[in-house]
Amino acid sequence: MSAPTIEVRIPTILRPYTKNEKTVSAEATNLGELVAALDKSYTGLGDRLLENGELRRFINVYINDEDVRFMGSLAATLKAGDSVTILPAVAGGC
Amino acid sequence: MTRYESLEASLGHTPLIGLPKLSPKVETGKPLVRLWAKLEDRNPTGSIKDRTAIAMIDDAEKTGRLKPGATILEPTSGNTGISLAMIAKVRGYKLICVMPENTSIERTQILEMWGAKIIYSPAAGGSNEAVRVAKELSEKNPDWVFLYQYGNPANTLAHYKTTGPEIFEDLPTITHFVAGLGTTGTLMGAGKYLREKNPDISIIAAEPRYGEVVYGLRNLDAGFVPELYDASVITRRFSVGAEDSVRRVKELLEVEGIFAGISTGAILHAALGIAKECVDAGVGADIAFIVCDAGWKYLSTGIYGKDGDSEVLDGQLWA
């Protein structure tokens, strides 16, 4: 069975790596595979997302709006129809 | 008790309100899944941030950092500034708030009403920029007292000592606690307390997802994670956009009659998601969530009207 195609939303700050595409897609069954697949198509993107094999401190990744750090991080599984959102960490309000 | 020595003394002990209509229906014989709203707008200046502000000022007075007539400096998107402004006015301090320029007009009006001075930070980068500008100002003005809610342990402690115990006292059967993630003080403090009382409790973070401008950092290193944040306290974390937040805040108004601020919509959205999961799994749940403030400060956005659309929030820091 082939890996599902996952839609990934790219934040402004990383769009120079995706030829300014807001949304890209790649085939993967988990987040680690997804990052590797994205890096293959968009050279340098993987390095902006990962540091020493882990998500960078100021990068947040969400699968269907849920933070992957509480779903196994790079081991978080992906299935058909999932959407992934990447955002830089910003201070909340209040 | 409803008699207090002063406005400040009436802090906390806010009501925990059942939501009989918004709580999901369960089949007969199945365990109940109930939602409970803690109405933090019932604090002296109308938000949960009164707890943080009073705790930080009390602590700074106790440790001698804050002397009579001193100037307080704080980065804020509104509520903490408003709380500090009222207390500063009453206790005789000056207050300078660094606030992103893309916040609702009411926040500026209320801050100025209590005598606070506002220094605006650029819209792009949102609160990150407010924090950066405030840190710079703090270095240049060492005589100003920088309370810094994102890294001040008194913020977390306020919720550990008040918000958490109040919820547990009112709802000892609590299974899930849902709150917004900003400075992270509420989740860290109340979450830690509640987990000590019930190790199996789920602590759920609802993080507002803004329009693109707020994420417009100069580079990735300008990202920000509050010093108070400890991921081990949290069980799950959700990012909730303006559209879902506005839809939920209107639902809360229409179904239960509760008039809440927009960030509460994000929290309710996460709480309802959890509630649905519990119903689907056939397990009972008592889910308590925070209503951070009421909707008054956001009326100018027009989102509460019949045709109110979340698109107006696109460039704004709405939580």
- In a domain, residue B314? The reply is no
pLDDT-derived band at B230 (thresholds 50, 70, 90) equals very high
Beta carbons of A94 and B80 less than 8 Å apart? yes
Q: Do residue B113 and residue B252 come from a single domain?
A: no
Of B182, B215, B225, the CB nearest to A93: B182
Query: Rounded CA gap, B150 and B147, in Å?
Result: 9
- In a domain, residue B95? The reply is yes
Residues B246-292 have pLDDT tens digits of 999 999 999 999 999 999 999 999 999 999 999 999 999 999 999 99
pLDDT-derived band at B310 (thresholds 50, 70, 90) equals confident
Query: Rounded CA gap, A48 and A8, in Å?
Result: 15
Q: Do residue B113 and residue B38 come from a single domain?
A: no
B 285-304: CB under 8 A from A? 292
Placement of tokens 């990735």 in the chain: B220
Residues B67-91 have pLDDT tens digits of 999 999 999 988 999 999 999 999 9
| Among candidate residues B96, B124, B146, the one where a domain is terminated | B146
- Among residues B49, B192, B250, B297, which one is catalytic? B49
Q: Write down the pLDDT at residue A93.
A: 62
Beta carbons of A67 and B78 less than 8 Å apart? no
Residue A93 in contact with partner chain B when CB distance is under 8 A: yes
Tell me the pLDDT of chain B averaged across its residues. Answer: 95
DSSP symbols for B78-107:
SHHHHHHHHHHHHHT-EEEEEEESSS-HHH
| Among candidate residues B114, B146, B178, the one where a domain is terminated | B146
- In a domain, residue B1? The reply is no
Separation in Å, CA of B107 to nearest CA in chain A: 11
Q: Do residue B168 and residue B278 come from a single domain?
A: yes
Q: Write down the pLDDT at residue A1.
A: 65
Of B49, B224, B240, the CB nearest to A94: B49
User: Strands B145-146, B71-75: parallel, antiparallel or unpaired by DSSP?
Assistant: parallel
Q: What domain range includes position B122?
A: 49-146
Q: Do residue B161 and residue B296 come from a single domain?
A: yes
Q: Write down the pLDDT at residue B222.
A: 84
Q: Do residue B141 and residue B257 come from a single domain?
A: no
Beta carbons of A93 and B150 less than 8 Å apart? no
Residue B128 in contact with partner chain A when CB distance is under 8 A: yes
Q: Write down the pLDDT at residue B77.
A: 83
Enumerate the residues of chain B whose CB falls inside 8 A of the CB of residue A67: 205, 207, 236-239
Enumerate the residues of chain A whose CB falls inside 8 A of the CB of residue B319: 92-94
Beta carbons of A65 and B216 less than 8 Å apart? no
Here the CATH number for the domain that contains residue B121 is 3.40.50.1100
- In a domain, residue B192? The reply is yes
pLDDT exceeds cutoff 80 at B318: no
* Structural domains of chain B, count: 2
| Among candidate residues B102, B126, B146, the one where a domain is terminated | B146
Q: Do residue B68 and residue B190 come from a single domain?
A: no
**What end-to-end distance do the CA atoms of chain B give, in Å?**
32
- Catalytic residue at B47? no
Q: Which domains does chain A have, with CATH numbers?
A: 5-88 (3.10.20.30)
Q: Do residue B137 and residue B199 come from a single domain?
A: no
Closest-CA residue in chain A for B224?
Answer: A90
Say whether pTM exceeds 0.80. yes
Enumerate helices (H) and strands (E) in chain B, giving the number of each. 9, 10
Q: Write down the pLDDT at residue A94.
A: 55
Which structure tokens are listed for A82? 């999932």
Query: Rounded CA gap, B160 and B199, in Å?
Result: 15
Q: Write down the pLDDT at residue B197.
A: 98
